[in-house]
Structure 1
Amino acid sequence: MNISRSFKRFFDFLVALVLLVFLFPLLLFIAMWVKLDVGKVFFRQIRPGLNGIPFEMVKFQTMVDSHDSSGRSLPDSERLTKLGIFLRSTSLDELPELWNVLRGHMSLVGPRPLLMEYLTLYDKKQFRRHEVRPGITGWAQVNGRNALSWDERFELDVWYVENQSFKLDMKILLLTVRKVIAREGITSKGEATMSKFKGGRS
């Protein structure tokens, strides 16, 4: 069954609202923990959403703001705190994105929102990932996550755009729970998270 955009939006809003209310004590506890550990609770960054329109994505902060002697930010692996590693490995850092879902910037399921700087690097097929709202989880996340190459990730994102359905979304949500419990695909080989996309096929 194909999923209509209006029904998907209603489902996203309802689930996000219920989860935010139900998980509020956990969100408050993590926020206080992050504040003590990093000093800054939320990580905010402008990301491209539906049709590439920018929005501000919110996550829990997992890195300290450290720089080298030249003023350049240190590599992610050196800025990630122990708490940050735990939050990322359990995907708890993603929970504030439920607020983005509530506001209509994101969906529960869809291609992950990447960086604004990538928009000019996509080819026509890769840009199709923006035909739907970005998601907290997605087809690429349950099929390798950050362990995938960029080519593999984009192929999975576009496949989702072309085959999205309510049944597929439910499958992805269930697989996400399993992946989070198993803590699979958190990092890319040789990277703390995912290497940067530089355009073309890689």
Structure 2
Amino acid sequence: MKKEKRELILDGTSYFAEVEIVEKSDKNNLIKMYSLWNELSSILSKYGCRRLNFPEISELIFCYIYDCWRVNNVPQIKHSSFDCYNPKTYSRIQIKATSVADDLTSFGPRSIWDELYFMDFFPNGKYDGCFDVYLIPNESVYNYPVRSDETFRDQQKRGVRPRFHIKTGLIKPLKIKPIGQYNLFEL
């Protein structure tokens, strides 16, 4: 993985930020991260603890597959809440992931993105390296009824952190198909 300062074009404006570029030579380390995460999560489960969250690893895997850059922050922007950047399309990418059957996904009240991807690392009901990637339509998220009287957009306007189940709330009812189905061990 390389860390470099790169130009990001966001809404037609040029910014410079330090990005992480995942290279093809990082594949073995991604597999090792996944395997160590799985091992530690399994041990924690034996003690009645929850499995560890998966965000950092999922972002790196996404960047590896789709040739995007991981972005931790853009210094010139006060609230740069996106995870990755596509240098070909100039898109801010938000990654949400799950490693359990029924996700509960949360968003920051100031989260912004051009493209939202959901990665399901438990599509077969086991931890075998398989995962599905979904592109989630933005308007479906913003208009999602988080409560009976409030949409996702309403909660963001109030400065509240919206939470809902992407799999059962959007993917299944809207019949969203994965844009990719992978096995980390076979990339």
More strand by share: 2
Highest relative contact order (Cα 8 Å, sep 6+), 1 or 2? 1
Shorter-chain TM-score above 0.5? no
More helix by share: 1
- TM range, smaller chain: 0.3 to 0.5
